Amino acid sequence: GAVVSQHPSRVICKSGTSVKIECRSLDFQATTMFWYRQFPKQSLMLMATSNEGSKATYEQGVEKDKFLINHASLTLSTLTVTSAHPEDSSFYICSAPILASNEQFFGPGTRLTVL
Amino acid sequence: GQNIDQPTEMTATEGAIVQINCTYQTSGFNGLFWYQQHAGEAPTFLSYNVLDGLEEKGRFSSFLSRSKGYSYLLLKELQMKDSASYLCAVRDEYSNYQLIWGAGTKLIIKP
């Protein structure tokens, strides 16, 4: 099946710093990628839809200036958490659909801990 | 509004059969998905239903009734490794690939 990678898998940072998370589709092109956040024992919460060549679409309540998304190519989307605070600590997961398929392929996730 | 309901937690015995239900109320419908998620890992795809009926894939089967807004995931011959959360998600026809997620059902398998 298709593969989506995420880097880093785990990051610990100090409050106030910025963290960049990369999501790559390894063997297919993804014009669209989704960024999710998941708090412990809760379901996935869609943060934004990343579109190659255009601006990301953010869900209600998600600050676009805090969560910067750049879909630089057909295989790479990045999420930058700017000026991270402890409440931003969460599991961040990206996914990419294959247009000819009904599946969405998920990256392995990034565990962010802000001290 | 958009709403997907599934039980919070279920317990079953190794070797047995378990059925996880999901009911949905969405503005549009373009398919229902089941995903498995182990703790600390990303979800993995299990099944997709867009037409009414049963889809069987090995030990796992998924059923859909669009008129009732209802689906279930059936797991047979349960194994300890099946202990995980099972997420029901609906694709809204008005937002091509976006999925609306249920809160997930944590399945605990006991020996």
β-pairing verdict for B60-65 and A57-58: unpaired
Closest by CA to B76, choosing from B4, B24, B13, B29, is B13
Q: How far apart are CA B108 and CA B110, in angstroms?
A: 6
Closest by CA to A94, choosing from A27, A29, A5, A10, is A5
> Which amino acid does the sequence have at A35?
W
State whether B104 and A43 contact (CB < 8 Å): yes
Q: Quote the pLDDT of residue B4.
A: 93
Cis-peptide into A40, omega within 30 deg: no
Q: How far apart are CA B22 and CA B72, in angstroms?
A: 6
Please check whether residue A32 touches B, CB under 8 A: yes
Q: Return the number of other C-beta atoms located less than 10 Å from residue B2's C-beta.
A: 12
Structure token pair of residue B33: 């998905």
Q: Quote the pLDDT of residue A53.
A: 86
Task: Give B29's contacts in chain A (Cβ within 8 Å).
Answer: none
**E strand or H helix that includes residue B110:** strand B105-110
Q: How far apart are CA B71 and CA B86, in angstroms?
A: 13
Q: How far apart are CA A6 and CA A23, in angstroms?
A: 5
B42: nearest CB among A43, A102, A108: A108
Q: Quote the pLDDT of residue B28.
A: 84
Q: How far apart are CA B93 and CA A96, in angstroms?
A: 17
Contact B80, B111 (CB under 8 A): yes
State whether B44 and A97 contact (CB < 8 Å): no
Positions of chain B with pLDDT under 70:
1, 94-97
Closest by CA to B101, choosing from B25, B4, B19, B35, is B4
Q: Quote the pLDDT of residue B92.
A: 78
* DSSP result, A50-64: EETTS--EEPTT--T
Contact B6, B102 (CB under 8 A): yes
State whether A43 and B31 contact (CB < 8 Å): no
Please check whether residue A58 touches B, CB under 8 A: no
Choosing among A4, A44, A101, which should be mutated to test the B contact, i.e. which has the most B CBs within 10 A? A44
Task: Give B93's contacts in chain A (Cβ within 8 Å).
Answer: none
Q: How far apart are CA A73 and CA A32, in angstroms?
A: 10
What are the counts of helices (DSSP H) followed by strands (DSSP E) for chain A? 0, 11
Positions of chain A with pLDDT under 50:
none
